[in-house]
Structure 1
């Protein structure tokens, strides 16, 4: 399991449902440079499948994690599947004993926005798609709030952590390994020479 959607990178190695090894690093910068080293430190052998967070989350983190997962999958000749960052914090909250019929995942989205997604819990399934919203547009009534930004809204802080990926039901961890950014990128494509001359 590869988790790079948030402010930290974590990697977990499982044998069936049993956690074999785990690494976690706070990586405000340098995820790309350190991720393969973090994975290699777990000394993975005979890996049968890779799960990677596809977002929404950090643009750079998602690209780095997915690229690493796809590269390793090609090298090892195995499949790679994705899971959502908002679903992961919902699964972790339930695994840690949160009891509520409905959860609202609220993760940091940057630029004053939050990535949010509603879930029902019996069984865990998404009630809508993940979206990026401003705090004044966050509808929290009727939800138990979880996520890495949950404390700002009276909820329980729930960090992104690769160890909890297997707590996701199968239908929430079979996404294609394609990033879900949740909002438009900050960077804009450079103008072509023709556009510059016309400007």
Structure 2
């Protein structure tokens, strides 16, 4: 089965095309902003312009704008191609990457930069199971509950420094790493923001 994976939930923008678990083409760039402008050209450069039997998209947590861009594109393509659209967690992907890098028998804490100086934080056990739901925390609060010796994410270095122990793996989500969570039950293709977006509708709704 051919699968298109879209990941725009962080400062990185990436797409990957898989035949089964084999990546046949991919693009990955750390762009900061501008995912909406970069994503479609990336997909267009893939073989058959990314045409697939299934689409997987990073639903967060992460950048509010990036998440919306990725999910909107994934759902539009799924509708046009009449194929299913699935979601996956940015934090689960990073945890799987860390365990693949340092050894599968290690618990991992994931910490990525969130809004207002907070971290999106989630701990995983040595089998890759989430120990609790993802949270948006002040750095000091994350330090208090971070117990794993391995910390991964773009806030990993800062968190490990504050803990004064542990190994930090600086990483961003990457569509090319999707096979690491291929065995995990997919999520709905719905944004997982963790905390409310900063922008509000008129009238405070």
1:40-85 CA distances to partner (integer Å, 9 max, x unpaired)?
1112455111110000010000000000000001111110101001
Q: Distance in 2 between matches of 1:13 and 1:121?
A: 29
1:17-40 CA distances to partner (integer Å, 9 max, x unpaired)?
111011012222221122111111
Aligned partner (choices 27, 49, 52) of residue 31 of structure 2: 27
Query: Following superposition, which runs of at least 4 residues in structure 1 exceed 4 angstroms of deviation?
Result: none
State whether structure 2 residue 142 is matched by structure 1 residue 129.
no
SS at match of 1:111: helix
Q: Do 1:57 and 1:181's aligned partners in 2 also have CA atoms closer than 8 Å?
A: yes
Q: Report the CA distance shift for 1:9/1:111 in structure 2 as closer, same or farther (over 3 A).
A: same
Q: Paired residue for 2:165?
A: none
Q: Do 1:100 and 1:144's aligned partners in 2 also have CA atoms closer than 8 Å?
A: no
Deviation at 1:141, TM superposition (A): 2.5
Q: Structure 1 or 2: larger strand share?
A: 1
What is the number of equivalent residue pairs in this alignment?
Answer: 190
Q: Paired residue for 2:84?
A: 79
Q: Paired residue for 1:36?
A: 40
Q: Do 2:123 and 2:132's aligned partners in 1 also have CA atoms closer than 8 Å?
A: yes
Deviation at 1:142, TM superposition (A): 3.7
Q: Distance in 1 between matches of 2:58 and 2:159?
A: 24
Q: Distance in 2 between matches of 1:30 and 1:160?
A: 17
Q: Distance in 1 between matches of 2:72 and 2:51?
A: 20
Aligned partner (choices 169, 174, 190) of residue 178 of structure 1: 190
Q: Paired residue for 1:15?
A: 19
Aligned partner (choices 88, 93, 102) of residue 98 of structure 2: 93
Q: Distance in 2 between matches of 1:121 and 1:148?
A: 21
Higher gyration radius (CA): 1
Q: Paired residue for 1:152?
A: 158
TM-score normalized by structure 2? Answer: 0.87
Instruction: Identify the range of structure 1 (25-34 vs 86-95) with the bigger mean alpha-carbon deviation.
Output: 25-34
TM-score normalized by structure 1? Answer: 0.89
1:130-161 CA distances to partner (integer Å, 9 max, x unpaired)?
11000010122244211121011222212211
Q: Distance in 2 between matches of 1:153 and 1:73?
A: 38
RMSD: 1.6
Q: Report the CA distance shift for 1:84/1:165 in structure 2 as closer, same or farther (over 3 A).
A: same
Q: Paired residue for 1:196?
A: none
Q: Distance in 1 between matches of 2:32 and 2:68?
A: 15
SS at match of 1:11: strand
Q: Do 2:152 and 2:169's aligned partners in 1 also have CA atoms closer than 8 Å?
A: yes
